[in-house]
Amino acid sequence: MYFSYRDTITELSKRLQPEWHRGGETCSWQGLVGKHFEVAKAVILAQYPQMIVEDCGQDVFETCDYRIERVRIYTDHKHIVREVPSSG
């Protein structure tokens, strides 16, 4: 059976809907834990193209500012998502 990358992302984005928090201000994607960073990024951008998606690997410096349009994805050394991605 043949699956294109686009079909896979489309199916994942339909199944992995974000969970909203704080009265609709932030959202998270629990189903992306264990997926590769590029897949997680594509799913988020398929649902919300305006989001800024950042790969926060091990020992990456990050700012403490809060931005609703940003999603930080914490990954391991193989770029596998290790924490639930959330906006903010």
Query: How high is the mean pLDDT of the chain?
Result: 81
**Higher pLDDT among residues 21 and 72, named by residue:** 72
- What pLDDT, on a 0 to 100 scale, did the predictor assign at position 3? 46
- What pLDDT, on a 0 to 100 scale, did the predictor assign at position 1? 38
Task: Concatenate the DSSP letters of all residues of 62-85 into one string.
Answer: ------TTEEEEEB-TT-BB-S--
Residue 68's pLDDT band (cuts 50, 70, 90): confident
- What pLDDT, on a 0 to 100 scale, did the predictor assign at position 86? 87
Count of CB atoms within 10 A of residue 36's CB? 14
Reported as a single tens digit per residue, the pLDDT across 39-51 is: 999 999 988 888 8
Average pLDDT in the 2-12 region? 59
Pairing of strands 52-56, 70-74: parallel
> Tokens in use for 59?
């020992």
Domain architecture of the chain: domains with CATH? 5-87 (3.30.10.10)
